[in-house]
Structure 1
Amino acid sequence: MGTNLARVQLSRNVPRFLGSCAVAGVLVAGVAAPVAMGAGVLSNEVSDSVDGISSSLATSRQPLVTTVTDRDGNPIATLFDQYRLPVTYNQIAPTMTAAIVAVEDRRFWSEGGVDPKGMVRAALHDSSGSGGTQGGSTITQQYVKNYLINVVDRGDKAAQYADRADTIARKLREAKIAVQLGQTESKQDILSGYLNVVEFSGNIYGVRAAAQAYFHTTPDKLTVAQAALLAGMVNNPNLYNPYTHPQQALDRRNTVIDDMVTNRVLAEKDAETAKASPLGVVDGGPDIPSSTCMGAPDDAGFFCAYAESYLEQAGFTADDLETGGYTIRTTMDPVVSRTVKDAVDANVPPTQNGVANTFAVIRPGNTTHEVLAMVANRDYGTDPAKGETSTNIVANASNVFGAGSSFKIFTSAAAMEAGVAGLDTPLPNQSGQCFTQPGANQYTPQYCVQNDGTSYPDPISLRDGLATSPNVAFVGLEQKVGMPAVLDMARRLGLRNSLNTNDAGAKPDPTSKDTRYSEPQSQYFQDKLSFTLGNSPVSPLEMANVSATLMSGGVWCPPNPILSVTDRDGKDVPVRQQACEQVVPAGLANTLEAGLSQDTISGTSAAAARAADWHHPDIGKTGTTQFSESVAFVGGVDDYALSSMVFADGPHPQEICPGTPVHLGECGHGAFGGTVAAPPYFHAFSQLLAGKPDVPLPAADPAYLTARR
């Protein structure tokens, strides 16, 4: 952490204290003797508690700020419980050390950790019954006290109260430890340690954080007036807060400057100049960064939140992340993220009423699926008036209306794996048909579907069906393959978390009598042929990972947002990751890619592709729900797997209508995946791939071109 305190040198000093109490013993005897409560009782109380305190000091590390960066190392967010930035003694201006010594402990440089005269005077006064208490604490003792309050007991209000109690026992405990520190630590390390741990009001801890928050400077550049203001705040951070109590803060600052003159570390003429200066704090401050991912840039908030939850699932606690002082280097690509964010904002403005546009990008691979971007037209925050949401609508199963016909990917893969159909297999495709649901009895109504339009051939090949998306052909294929196989394929290819949610996109509630809410989707859809038409809640991120699995030769890996984590000392911290799996044969994945290669050429997004002058070889599958509350484009190009989804996200969902901008309404014939969800893809990747050579798609495997049974 940069200083001996920051590295908690107490861990090597405190244990030695237990075997070297000569000075401390004299101190206890000398101070405790006049105390009416009895030296024996007090001595026992002190001795019994010091062991525990010493152990706590030895094992407790200061809370530090965790920094989250993009893949290039650019900070995107800070996570913290206490805003503290470590600093060494040599990084603190002499003005600051002189100011704090002058006002808090003038004999600091010559005393041995305690001020016996001051302590005896305070003990005699406090035990006389004359009312009130006196101080007598040195900076070393205050260091111990603040370390207990702000570090060891920061989560325990009762313990913090005891740490502040004006009792002789508490002061003697501090004194015993302070004596040991005075024997084993340099004055410079004690002083920098104190200035790293002490509070400067609110959530600002340590001189470096305070210098930044109040003056937009660093501690090595603090002027006399600035240093005196900060030193004065230590005694009572709330009373001497320059924003809430400016006059008290000014008076206190000037008192510190006078003390510096008295302590002969500042000339009188310089003191008068400093006292004549204004407070000089930053306007509207103190200026401290957000302590959560909601402070991230508009293209990084959802990514940051996902990285945080990913690490928690890997074993980090929320407290670890808020206090550990880690550097979390994510996989976020700042160019990709910015480009797709601009594309979705152009498609659906952030404040557009009731319409969300999410976009996720993943890099395929056989050992990891790195997440490159997670954005939406919504921003991650708490102000709905600004189009913000506090729900991670990119990672969660937040599209409760579903991804429409993009789910036909799962039926196709299951059929190819089972040998029921190959890419060239003709599928029955009447304009409309009713099907018997799995497990139906005489009272179960049939499931009736129609194709959108009458121009589809009957039969139609699976290859052409993937491009033009007839409903009847795929429901019939799903019935033939069987729901268990289709649902299992959806899980294997990527819908790991989505299928664990209920039909409302939430955690199943076993107390509900309604199976829509009590059962996970993996169970709820076992007898519902509507699954292949994509009417179930889904995670946009997981649908992008479905494409990544196909583009990785059938290898599924969890969507990974983390490149590395290093601790406060710069050491690598391993991050546990779920193992990758070969979930379908490479030949099947390649063949399905070949089947998905026609969507932007002759399929449902071809018109939008031509309008965007799109020419890159890619894979794609659009989706549109029955009443157009959600439309989707799921696909991939080069080494980018992606999903773009536009869906109703307000309390009064309606049909989504195309236009500039996309909006809710009653437009008669609503939006489609090709007309509304695909354009942000063409917009963004035309820029990202400009000037780059095309990457050909893999060839289909002949084993999956025809049915095998």
Structure 2
Amino acid sequence: MRQRATQSPRLLALGEWLQPRVQRMRHWRWQWLVVLPALALGYALLLVPFTPSISDIRKAKLEQPAQVLTADGKELALFKRSNRQWVGLDEIAPSVVKALIATEDHRFYEHHGMDLWRTAASVWHSLRGDLQGGSTLTQQLARNLYPEEIGRSASVNRKLKEAITAFKIEALYSKPEILETYLNTVPFLYNAWGIEMAARTYFDKPAAKLSVLEAATLVGMLKGTSYYNPVRNPERAVARRNTVLAQMVKREVLTAAEFERLKVRPLRLDFERQEVPSGMAPHFAQQVRKWLIDWADSHGYNIYADGLVVHTTLDARMQAWAIQAVRNHTRTLQGIANTNWSKRDGWNPDNPLVHSLVSETTAYAALREKGRSSQEALQELLGDKAFLQQLRQDKLRLEAGFLAMDPGTAAVRAWVGSRDFAQDAFDHVQQARRQPGSTFKPFVYGAALQSGVPADAQRVDQAVEITLAGGEVWRPSDASPPSGRSMTLAGALAYSKNTITAQLVQEVGPAKVARLARNLGVRSSPLEAVPALALGASPVSLLEMVNAYGSLARGGQYRAPLLVTRIEDRQGKVLAEFAPHPAEQVWDEAENYALVDMLRGVVDKGTGRDIRRRWGIKDDVAGKTGTTQNNADGWFILMHPELVVGAWAGFNDGRITLRSDHWGQGARSALPMVGDFTAQALRSKLVDRHARFTPPESSHWWASLADGVRRQMQAWWGEERQPPAPVPDRTPPPVAVPAPVTPTPDSDVIEESTPPLPASQLPPAPPPSDALDAWMEQWAPPPGTAPDWEQTPPAVLGRPVEAL
């Protein structure tokens, strides 16, 4: 009583307030065991909408990838999630299933998606510092099927999503179906997904014939495919394999005697990487995939599971002709490059360029990291013959890009992004940005027409000096000295005269040239409005250039390229149809026709005359050649009223060239691919040979008259020879490679302005045999003669030559 009396009234009041509340908490202490699980359950229910739906799981099990077809019904590609071949559970060796269940989830047939005992044990061990996974096979399957929806982070949130999805899977499918799906979706490195592709990759046999040792090796990889990779880490793989065998003994699916016999066996691999089938147009298919993913996402479809059927604009016959044309001609060019870059003539340790290429390799960087000086690392690699040979092979692999479009609709008909997709997946049609050389000149002459300068206006072929912003002077020149004579703009474009082109860009201004090029189709690549733009100094893509020429063939109307025409579901119901993009009139039709008429002169008498002389094409066509500084890039684009075709040839590294003033020109490196393809397309019924570029109704009467006279002359000329016969798709006999020609350093030479050869000196039509390349060699002008070429200015004139 004395102690109570000494306490202050305030403390007494606080005690009286706390006492009933403490008693209530004691009353609720057992109910927390109910409240906490209820809260956890409520949180789990909130996560349900953020996990894959039942329909998504059904799709994943069925998985019907989108099928991509050409315009003429040929299969172009299948958009699968991965490189996988689905096999039934009865087509998988029983030892695989036994090893899998014994190692990964021995209570698989007892739980319903989540093993509570295993989960509790993993939590207990993890709290003690021994991290362990507690996921069942069903939970692993959920994570493999939906990595984005579930995630990979080690969090409670992810584990709950994984468990919820596992319960959904168990509710939908039987245990054998879950096992089958798991074994067909698990990754095994080297682009192999699923047990069938893994068996073929590591042991070169189907999954049905895997032995117990092989099954244990593959199942052992699932703990960490990279760490237990049997190719790179065989000791770890054997140790892990034996762990799997021990687990099989523990679960009584393998006897102890068998384990003792098997655990000492060596690892015997028969490794072969499984390549993904690339199809006839892999680069085109990649563009379609990117577009289709966006379309499917916005319309609620899955390109891997909904069985979409995609009809594209690509023509299988034209694609085959394009592949053949690229293959045949680049084979010849590759032989020339190999000869001109022999050890004696360029590829040797004394070449400064070889020094630069070596110093850019990862091997050089690795030696530098080990403490070697730059000179020591360089000398060591220059003395490694195997290294230099591989570097030479990689750097001297000539590449090409090829594109054909229907100018009326801007539909893509053929697309070859590289010589071999397996060797070089880089797309030289859409991804590559290279200087276009003189193929850019039509935009200069078009800008002049826009400014009121007619095609028959005269300009003097004389030396030109242009002072650049930095005070440097640009002096563009041609293959021969200026003649001092007058020449029409049409003639200057036909013979690709640099001097007159430079005069024109001064008159109209580079900004106007860039604006016209953008309006017609060069809309992705930046164009520098500098004088050097006139000769193609700003890198662009082949897709942009061909589409821009398509705008010219379309009467000055721009259309965006068209790749897909229709999408259907698996039953054939049309889900969407796609018409050509709206036409945008970006240029006066009469001025546009005047430029097309000028480009006719390029193939009639100018730098592209081999289209008529060698390939026998007498139809109404127009085009332009292009060659960049030091022959780094060769271009040719040809227009027909129903077909526009363009090609590029060169090396991925712009410092590498053919080292030949003759073969490095666009008229020799790119034009033959276009000529070969176009000749075949015109012989077929796919293109109307009678189609003509027609002048607009508002044109003067003499334009129609001149066009009629020209067509009649072309018809007379064409009766003197037949078009070349189709070339069989087989390897031609060896050809005589011309001796290497050393190019003139820092040459500004452009296409020659010599007149065409007289009829008595014209070569005969190509023979109908597989010796086309030999024929080309026979009738090619000898090395040292004046070349048909044009070159862009050096880097100082606007933009450097870019290496891809």
Q: 2:430 aligns with which of 392, 395, 402?
A: 395
Q: 1:674: how far off?
A: 2.8
User: What secondary structure does 2:636 align onto?
Assistant: strand
Q: 1:155-170 to 2 correspondence within 5 Å?
A: 156-157=151-152, 159-160=153-154
AA aligned to 1:632 is W
Alpha-carbon distance change, 335 to 646 in structure 1, aligned in 2, over 3 angstroms: closer
Q: 1:432: how far off?
A: 0.5
Q: Deviations over 1:649-702 (max 9, x none)?
A: 53646795245xx4xxxxxxxx54334432333344445555667344323347
Q: 1:554 aligns with which of 547, 553, 556?
A: 556
Q: Establish whether residue 694 from structure 1 lines up as the match of residue 694 from structure 2.
A: no
How many residue pairs align between the two structures?
593
User: What secondary structure does 2:598 align onto?
Assistant: helix
Q: Establish whether residue 532 from structure 1 lines up as the match of residue 564 from structure 2.
A: no
Q: 2:513 aligns with which of 486, 491, 497?
A: 486
- Mapped to 1, the partners of 2:129 and 2:514 lie a distance apart of 76
Aligned-residue CA RMSD in angstroms?
Answer: 5.6
Q: 1:497: how far off?
A: 1.6
- Mapped to 2, the partners of 1:647 and 1:248 lie a distance apart of 50
| TM-score, normalised via structure 2 length | 0.58
User: What secondary structure does 2:626 align onto?
Assistant: strand
- Mapped to 2, the partners of 1:302 and 1:163 lie a distance apart of 40
Aligned to 2:672: 679
Q: 1:348: how far off?
A: 2.5
Q: Establish whether residue 142 from structure 1 lines up as the match of residue 129 from structure 2.
A: no
Q: 1:200-279 to 2 correspondence within 5 Å?
A: 205-207=193-195, 209-210=197-198, 213-214=201-202, 221=208, 225=212, 228-229=215-216, 232-233=219-220, 236=223, 238=225, 243=231, 244=234, 247-248=238-239, 251=242
Alpha-carbon distance change, 475 to 325 in structure 1, aligned in 2, over 3 angstroms: farther
Which has the greater radius of gyration?
A: 2
Aligned to 1:644: 647
Q: 1:338 aligns with which of 323, 332, 355?
A: 323
Q: 1:113-512 to 2 correspondence within 5 Å?
A: 126=124, 141-148=136-143, 151-152=146-147, 156-157=151-152, 159-160=153-154, 182=170, 185-199=173-187, 205-207=193-195, 209-210=197-198, 213-214=201-202, 221=208, 225=212, 228-229=215-216, 232-233=219-220, 236=223, 238=225, 243=231, 244=234, 247-248=238-239, 251=242, 283-285=270-272, 287-289=273-275, 296=278, 300=281, 302-303=283-284, 306-307=287-288, 331=313, 333=316, 334-349=319-334, 358-370=400-412, 372-376=414-418, 392-396=427-431, 398-400=433-435, 402-404=436-438, 406-417=439-450, 419-421=452-454, 425-432=455-462, 434=464, 452-453=479-480, 459-498=486-525, 500=526
Q: Deviations over 1:478-525 (max 9, x none)?
A: 555554443222112221123x2xxxxxxxxxxxxxxxxxxx52xx33
Q: Establish whether residue 595 from structure 1 lines up as the match of residue 598 from structure 2.
A: yes
% of aligned pairs identical?
20
Alpha-carbon distance change, 257 to 633 in structure 1, aligned in 2, over 3 angstroms: same
Alpha-carbon distance change, 578 to 199 in structure 1, aligned in 2, over 3 angstroms: same
Contact 2:636–2:647, Cα closer than 8 Å, also in 1: yes
Aligned to 1:57: 51
Q: 1:252: how far off?
A: 6.2
Aligned to 1:504: none
User: What secondary structure does 1:596 align onto?
Assistant: helix
| TM-score, normalised via structure 1 length | 0.64
Contact 1:357–1:644, Cα closer than 8 Å, also in 2: no
Q: Deviations over 1:616-637 (max 9, x none)?
A: 5422212345665544322134
User: What secondary structure does 2:516 align onto?
Assistant: helix
Aligned to 1:509: none
Q: 1:54: how far off?
A: 3.3
Q: 1:602: how far off?
A: 1.8
Q: Deviations over 1:543-595 (max 9, x none)?
A: 22222222334332233445667899999887999754233355554554343
User: What secondary structure does 1:50 align onto?
Assistant: helix
- Mapped to 2, the partners of 1:677 and 1:570 lie a distance apart of 41
Alpha-carbon distance change, 323 to 173 in structure 1, aligned in 2, over 3 angstroms: closer
Contact 2:51–2:161, Cα closer than 8 Å, also in 1: no
Alpha-carbon distance change, 701 to 362 in structure 1, aligned in 2, over 3 angstroms: same
Q: 1:542: how far off?
A: 1.7
Q: 1:558-569 to 2 correspondence within 5 Å?
A: 558-562=560-564
Q: 1:9-158 to 2 correspondence within 5 Å?
A: 39=33, 43=37, 46-47=40-41, 49-51=43-45, 53-58=47-52, 71=70, 74=75, 100=100, 108-109=108-109, 126=124, 141-148=136-143, 151-152=146-147, 156-157=151-152
Aligned to 2:625: 622
- Mapped to 1, the partners of 2:437 and 2:644 lie a distance apart of 16
Contact 2:99–2:245, Cα closer than 8 Å, also in 1: no
Contact 1:600–1:606, Cα closer than 8 Å, also in 2: yes
- Mapped to 2, the partners of 1:193 and 1:571 lie a distance apart of 29
Q: 1:427: how far off?
A: 1.8
- Mapped to 2, the partners of 1:174 and 1:452 lie a distance apart of 71
- Mapped to 2, the partners of 1:673 and 1:184 lie a distance apart of 62
Contact 1:369–1:557, Cα closer than 8 Å, also in 2: no
- Mapped to 2, the partners of 1:316 and 1:336 lie a distance apart of 35
Alpha-carbon distance change, 570 to 535 in structure 1, aligned in 2, over 3 angstroms: same
- Mapped to 2, the partners of 1:682 and 1:43 lie a distance apart of 76
User: What secondary structure does 1:426 align onto?
Assistant: coil
Q: 1:342: how far off?
A: 0.9
- Mapped to 1, the partners of 2:292 and 2:499 lie a distance apart of 43
Q: 1:143: how far off?
A: 0.8
Aligned to 2:545: 543
- Mapped to 1, the partners of 2:126 and 2:641 lie a distance apart of 83
AA aligned to 2:447 is A
Aligned to 1:25: none
AA aligned to 2:324 is T
Contact 2:187–2:193, Cα closer than 8 Å, also in 1: yes
AA aligned to 2:675 is F
- Mapped to 2, the partners of 1:259 and 1:451 lie a distance apart of 84
User: What secondary structure does 1:429 align onto?
Assistant: strand
Aligned to 2:724: none
Contact 1:340–1:359, Cα closer than 8 Å, also in 2: no
AA aligned to 1:369 is A
Structure 2 residue runs of 5 or longer lacking an equivalent are 1-29, 342-394, 704-804
Q: 1:663-674 to 2 correspondence within 5 Å?
A: 671-674=664-667
- Mapped to 2, the partners of 1:232 and 1:696 lie a distance apart of 64
- Mapped to 1, the partners of 2:536 and 2:245 lie a distance apart of 70
- Mapped to 1, the partners of 2:606 and 2:76 lie a distance apart of 41
